[in-house]
Amino acid sequence: MAADPSIDSAANRIRIVLVGTQHPGNIGSAARALKTMGLSRLVLVAPERFPHIEAHALAAGADDVLAAAPVFATLAEAVADCRLVLGCTARSRRVALEEHLPRAAAALVMARAGEGAEVALVFGRERTGLTNDELQLCHAAVHIPANPEYSSLNLAAAVQVLAYELRMAMLEAGEAGGVATSAAGEPASHAQLEGFFAQLADTLDAIDFHKGRAPESAMRKLRRLFLRTALDVREVRLLRGILADAQRMARLAVARAPGEAPPRS
């Protein structure tokens, strides 16, 4: 593949995030998988054992990827500046997310990275994967269609599958003359969206939207609805302004004495 600044720039905005990795060898193998496919950004969230000699041994020359890998305490911190977060997971989850196969996910990742967005592909623990709370932080899921009779895929192997599909997407972009860009507004970051969702939850509580029902189900549905729309920064700012006014009116309603007429606008 001929060097193309737009493709290199897009690739540099793609991070592979490993959450709670239990075996250090998988961290090293994942670093090797990335480097062989022209990727370099590995991010670790609360690894059980890292740094570790086994990680460097299995990196097999990708020590620079390991050395540059930042370590975060939580997934939210690791993806705070991302505009797209895809969680690699099995289908049997209580958290319903839009699903992509690896090839479609890679195309989506390259398209968003080409628009200037920071993008993350997130992989969970070897035995238990991502928790439901962690999946709530993802915009969509990626499912590798393994043999249903033996679907246990090693973590590093799963990383290799997605890294390969990203490589193919980069090659296709090179043949097409570069990564297409978009004229749309700047996508809202993960941190901006989480701030909006927190304010939305507070507002729904303030207006007694749930009427005593558990709020979790409604918030899951609302998160999916807004994540599908790919809100930009201005849209989030507008929505938060509406929520701020709703919260202000809720406070006024609580402060008014029973039977008192509402204030004139």
pLDDT digits (tens, 9 = 90+) for 71-122: 999 999 999 999 999 999 876 556 678 889 999 999 999 989 988 899 999 9
- Asked whether residue 70 falls in the same domain as residue 159, the answer is yes
- Asked whether residue 23 falls in the same domain as residue 106, the answer is yes
Instruction: With respect to residue 184, please indicate whether it lies within any of the assigned structural domains.
Output: no
Pick the last residue of a domain from 146, 175, 204: 175
Q: Which of 3, 4, 67 is closest to 35 using CA atoms?
A: 67
Instruction: With respect to residue 263, please indicate whether it lies within any of the assigned structural domains.
Output: no
Q: Residue 25: enclosing H or E segment and its boundaries?
A: helix 24-36
The pLDDT, as a whole number, for residue 252 is 86
- Asked whether residue 104 falls in the same domain as residue 233, the answer is no
The pLDDT, as a whole number, for residue 183 is 43
Q: Which of 130, 47, 38 is closest to 85 using CA atoms?
A: 130
Q: Which of 167, 146, 153 is closest to 16 using CA atoms?
A: 167
- Asked whether residue 59 falls in the same domain as residue 114, the answer is yes
If pLDDT is split at 50, 70 and 90, which confidence band does 148 have?
confident
- Asked whether residue 38 falls in the same domain as residue 145, the answer is yes
Could you report the per-residue pLDDT of 182-218, keeping only the tens digit for each? 445 778 889 999 999 999 999 999 999 998 888 898 9
Is the model's pLDDT at 179 over the cut of 70? no
- Asked whether residue 40 falls in the same domain as residue 165, the answer is yes
The pLDDT, as a whole number, for residue 196 is 94
Instruction: With respect to residue 78, please indicate whether it lies within any of the assigned structural domains.
Output: yes
Q: State which residues form the domain around 226.
A: 190-255
- Asked whether residue 23 falls in the same domain as residue 89, the answer is yes
What Å distances lie between residue 189 and 208, 243, 261, CA to CA?
Answer: 29, 19, 42
What whole-number percentage of the chain has pLDDT above 90? 60
- Asked whether residue 81 falls in the same domain as residue 195, the answer is no
- Tally the domains of the chain: 2
CA distance linking residue 119 with residue 9, whole number of Å: 12
The pLDDT, as a whole number, for residue 215 is 87
Instruction: With respect to residue 131, please indicate whether it lies within any of the assigned structural domains.
Output: yes
Q: Residue 157: enclosing H or E segment and its boundaries?
A: helix 155-175
